Structure 1
Amino acid sequence: MKHARRIAMPLGIAGVAALALTGCVGDAPADPSAEPGGSEAPTAAGCEAYADYGTFDGEEVDLYGTILDVEADRLNESWAEFEDCTGIDVVYEGSGEFEAQINVRVQGGNPPDLAIFPQPGLLASVAGTGSILPAPESVAANAQEFWSEDWQNYGTVDGEFLAAPLMASIKGYVWYSPSVWEENGWEVPTTLDELDELTATIASSDTMKPWCVGFGSGEATGWPGTDWVEDYVLRTAGPDVYDQWITHEIPFDDPAIVDAMNRVGDLIKNPDYVNGGFGDVSTIATQDFGQAGWPVTEGECAMHHQASFYEGLFPEGTTVAEDGDVWAFILPGTEAGAPAVTGGGEFVGAFSDDEAVVAVQTFLSSAEWANSRVSLGGVLSANSGLDPANASSPLLVSAAETLQDPNTTFRFDGSDLMPGAVGAGTFWVAMVDWISGADTETVLGQVESSWP
């Protein structure tokens, strides 16, 4: 999921201390007879929760994904106790070129044991090779217990359930500095029109640029721009048009999409409004998304559009709170109080059915793992067994509640649901071309012509 991409820096995988889990949420796997396992349950203190996974003598399970840097460290920490209790060594490899390299590895006959797919569209594309195995019984049982039907469907290809969800995020947050806004008398907008008015007000104040933006993300450069368009399509055209767009029931360059994208352009292609802390509009195409919001904390721009996971990407020591260094509001709709959000998530698919691999895959689909990882900070899960109180900040607590609120109009990140050649290909390229000067109709038409 685009929301899972992180700053493309080298990852050092080192040993991590065992995580002391207390008050874990989630039951043991629903069908112990279907579980993998060795001959004996673990006997170490604190390992009772892992008894049904079995014990393994130093077996390794390779896990490949897009998650890098501090979030990769937290990922390793999230299963440290599981490793100690089961004897499985989960060897995680993160890559900024996952989208391209997973296909290379599959075609070369060297797939990982497990892969964390950041887009359902890419999952479906790789599944088309026949290399991804159906989810084992234990994983399917966890998915049915802890995930909504919609989330299960995102991991289903051609009617077969392949991959359980992992983490989740809400897109479309607008990050800002509460103290800067209070000092300048700026108020959180309740509609898109108010956001436009606020942007113009900030620009005319000559205090800072209204927006700081970055589309850079290594091989995945361009995806942050698709998030802007998807958020505006959902809010300006509505969920029905959004659904028709991502399934190609209407053309990619339908007038409703052109209008939404032009409205985004009114903000981030305007040289008076961007790119605080970095330069002019042209810098957006290459500015790494991971640092693109940092000027908010430095008084160089007023707003940054990015998902809930961005909380974990601010410089170390940044306080995320209503009265902290940064806070965020969800991009409003055309009317005040419109509860519509886009979001994303990852999905764990398997290329091996070895017992140790199934054990890891089952654990990652559990509420116990979701609470473990979320309690470490920076991320969310739509797992229904997640206790929102485990989220690392008031903003993420609120985001978790939004994910679990049945009244929220939630739509999965559009490009993540599109065919991989579009959602993780031509759409990304189009956003780079567009922010570099190409007009809306041209780039959307190019994506339309690329739809398989």
Structure 2
Amino acid sequence: MRSRNMRRGLAAAAALASAGLVLASCASDDDGGSSEASGTWPGDGKSECSGLEQLADFGDLSGKSVSVYTSILPPEQEAQENSYKLFTTCTGASVKYEGSDQFETQLVVRVKANNAPDIAYIPQPGLLKTVVDSGQVVEAPSQVADNVDEFFGEDWKGYGTVDDTFYAAPLGASVKSFVWYSPSMFQKNGWEVPETWDDLMSLTGDIAATGIKPWCAGIESGDATGWPATDWLEDVLLRDAGPDVYDQWVNHDIAFNDDAVAEALDKVGAILKDPKYVNGGFGDVDSIATTAFQDAGQPILKDQCALHRMASFYAAQWPEGTKVTEDGDVFAFYLPVTNEDFGKPVLGAGEFVAAFDDRPEVAAFQTYLSTDVWANEKAKSTPGGGWVSANTGLDEANLSSPIDKLSAEIFQDPDATFRFDGSDQMPSAVGAGSFWKEMTAWVTGESTKDALTNIENSWPSS
């Protein structure tokens, strides 16, 4: 089915072609400052450019180049670059890709030095706000806003908006609300995937009764040790208290140690701090703090634990040859809800496309990345799996990995309410500091009250 933008673009392209006109337009109708583009659209008449008629707005971009700076490194980088080939075919412009393992730090340095890239893929809404506050990020063109309105929900658009101005469209995404398990182990023991939190806790008890530790967990991650435990709290708070309270907590409209947060953390503690339930394959409760998150789920393959809460991207951590399917060695199920009043909450993460220049080729590339066409090109360019988008125009048939398909189903579920990782939105002193540190201390014995109070006291005053 053709989208609204596709139908509009086809009609416009046909009219221009019949009139023999030369395009001369701005990158945006209303962003106040776009450079003009001219020349016929290189994609005109090319069947592979069907659905990208918006790019005709930017004219002939042959010989132009767009620089892109990201944290996406090999081997994932190759799939990214392959997905840009259609953009070059349809516009004539090329893309110069640069990845860095120091992206978050270096982007801020480059912005301060007036050496920003044309486009950056920003993985945290908090970092987006930081660079927007520099005054160098340009408002997204109207074509991008139209696409986001059509293919993404209001929640996603909100994360790319700062002070009521829309800057950055979503790119890739990941679902964090997953529990990994072994389908064969479940079948052998007669266990069923739980539908509710009560079902999950009942299953946990049943597994423990067999002598198997139900859960395995690990939060060690170098300087970022503790972050997996923050995801646990965020996921349960979102389910327990709902998205409105979650937003208030993230924005510090309620205290970090609010009663609702304490109740959610105690619910997490009923699993992670119970020696009957953890830490299968590694040791006691304290071993959670010293177990690398990459290793934490591996005991499932040895029947040493049965459950591991971790995001969709954990699919890449299983050993080569592991069958990650619903009837394979491992798979994942949606983390059940604790309160049915809040529908189907989904905790996740993703990247956002921010531009530091409004040249026509830059605006055109932003537009391309916000389309359903690019989402499907990216899926087809990632045959090994490990990538998904919340773009509702993404055809799940183009995703090769069953876990990616499951993630897309969750993102496209009309009952799903998405919320971005909370720590990624908080001030860095908290989200990448005291929150990680205190969750580690909490796992190893600190009380819920002390951990949450210490984080509350660390929140910057301004």
TM more than 0.5:
yes
Deviation for aligned residue 1:245: 1.6
Whole-angstrom CA distance in 1 between matches of 2:5 and 2:433 = 38
Residue identity opposite 2:131 in structure 1 = V
**Where do 5+ consecutive residues of structure 1 fail to align?**
1-22
8 Å Cα contact 2:218-2:288 kept in structure 1: yes
1:236 aligns with 2:236: no
Question: Are 1:122 and 1:420, in contact at CA under 8 Å, matched by a contact in 2?
Answer: no
What's the secondary structure of 2:188's corresponding residue? helix
Check whether the contact 1:312–1:379 (CA below 8 A) recurs between aligned residues: no
Q: Give the letter aligned to residue 211 of structure 1.
A: W
Which residue matches 2:410? 402
Partner of 1:117: 122
Deviation at 1:288, TM superposition (A): 4.0
Q: Whole-Å Cα distance in 1 between the matches of residues 97 and 226 of structure 2?
A: 26
Q: Can you list the C-alpha shifts for 1:74-107, whole angstroms capped at 9, x where unaligned?
A: 2223223334554544343344443333223322
Q: In 2 relative to 1, CA 76–111 (structure 1 residues): closer, same or farther, beyond 3 Å? A: same
Equivalent residue for 2:251, pick from 247, 264, 268: 247
Tell me the distance in 2 between the aligned counterparts of 1:84 and 1:129: 34
Deviation at 1:59? 4.7
Is the aligned partner of 1:427 residue 2:428?
no
3-state SS in 2 of match to 1:319? coil
**Cα deviations by residue, 1:390-414 (Å, 9 ceiling, x for unpaired):** 3334443343233223323333333
> Secondary structure of 2:260's partner?
helix
How far, CA to CA, are the matches of 2:283 and 2:100 in structure 1? 29
> Are 2:42 and 2:89, in contact at CA under 8 Å, matched by a contact in 1?
no
1:314-341 per-residue CA deviation (whole Å, 9 max, x = no partner) reads 3333323221121211111236795332
Residues 115 and 268 (structure 1 numbering): CA distance in 2 closer, same or farther, change over 3 Å? same
Q: How do 1:134-213 and structure 2 match up within 5 A?
A: 134-207=139-212, 209-213=213-217
Q: 1:71 aligns with which of 61, 65, 76?
A: 76
SS in 2 for 1:378: coil
Q: Secondary structure at the match of 1:193?
A: helix
Worse-matched range after superposition: 112-121 or 416-425:
416-425
Instruction: Say if 1:199 and 1:26 are closer, same or farther in 2 by CA, change over 3 A.
Output: farther
Partner of 1:11: none
Whichever residue aligns with residue 34 of structure 1, its letter is C
How far did 1:217 drift? 4.2
* Secondary structure at 1:415 match in 2: coil
- Which of 427, 451, 456 is 1:443 aligned to? 451
Q: How does 1:11-410 map to 2 (within 5 A)?
A: 27=6, 33-35=25-27, 39-42=39-42, 48-49=49-50, 52=56, 56=61, 59-83=64-88, 85-207=90-212, 209-217=213-221, 219-285=223-289, 287-334=291-338, 339-375=344-380, 376=382, 377-410=385-418
Aligned residues: 429
Q: Which moved more, 1:34-43 or 1:196-205?
A: 34-43
Q: Which moved more, 1:223-232 or 1:197-206?
A: 197-206
Amino acid at match of 1:364: L
Distance 1:281 1:84 in 2: 55
The alpha carbon displacement at 1:223 in A equals 2.5
- The worse-fitting range, judged by mean Cα deviation, of 283-292 and 28-37 is 28-37
Provide closer, same or farther for how the CA distance between residues 162 and 277 of structure 1 changes in structure 2, counting only shifts above 3 A: same
Q: TM-score, normalised by structure 2?
A: 0.81
- Give the alignment's TM-score, normalised by structure 1: 0.83
More moved, 270-279 vs 439-448: 270-279
Shift of 1:389: 3.0
Contact 1:25–1:386 (Cα < 8 Å) also in 2: no
Give unmatched runs, 5+ long, in structure 2.
13-22, 28-35
Q: For the Cα contact (< 8 Å) 1:138–1:362, is it kept in 2?
A: yes
Verify the 8 A CA contact 2:313 2:386 in the aligned structure 1.
yes
CA contact (8 A) 1:213 1:305 kept: yes
Shift of 1:260: 1.0
Contact 1:167-1:379 at 8 Å conserved across structures: yes
Instruction: Classify 1:202/1:69 alpha carbon distance in 2 versus 1 (closer, same or farther; 3 Å).
Output: farther
Query: 2:139 is paired with a residue of what secondary structure?
Result: coil
Secondary structure (helix, strand or coil) at the match of 2:257 reads coil
Change (3 A) 1:98 1:210: farther
User: RMSD between aligned alpha carbons?
Assistant: 3.2
Structure 2 contact 68–119 (Cα < 8 Å) conserved: yes
In 1, are the aligned partners of 2:257 and 2:449 still within 8 Å (CA)? yes
Structure number with greater CO (CA < 8 Å, separation at least 6) is: 1
C-alpha separation in 1, matches of 2:229 and 2:161: 27
- Cα-to-partner distance string for 1:229-280 (whole Å, 9 max, x where unaligned): 0111122223332232222222110122112112212222334433334444
SS at structure 1 position matched to 2:271 = helix
- Residue 282 of structure 1, CA deviation: 4.0
C-alpha deviation, 1:47, in angstroms: 5.1
Equivalent-residue separation in structure 1 for 2:164 and 2:37 (angstroms)? 28
CA deviation vs aligned residue, 1:6-64 (integer Å, no higher than 9, x gap):
xxxxxxxxxxxxxxxxx999739969833476745437966534663655555543323
Amino acid in the other structure paired with 1:372 = E
Q: One-letter code of the match for 2:122?
A: F
Equivalent residue for 2:421? 413
Q: Distance in 2 between matches of 1:276 and 1:372?
A: 40
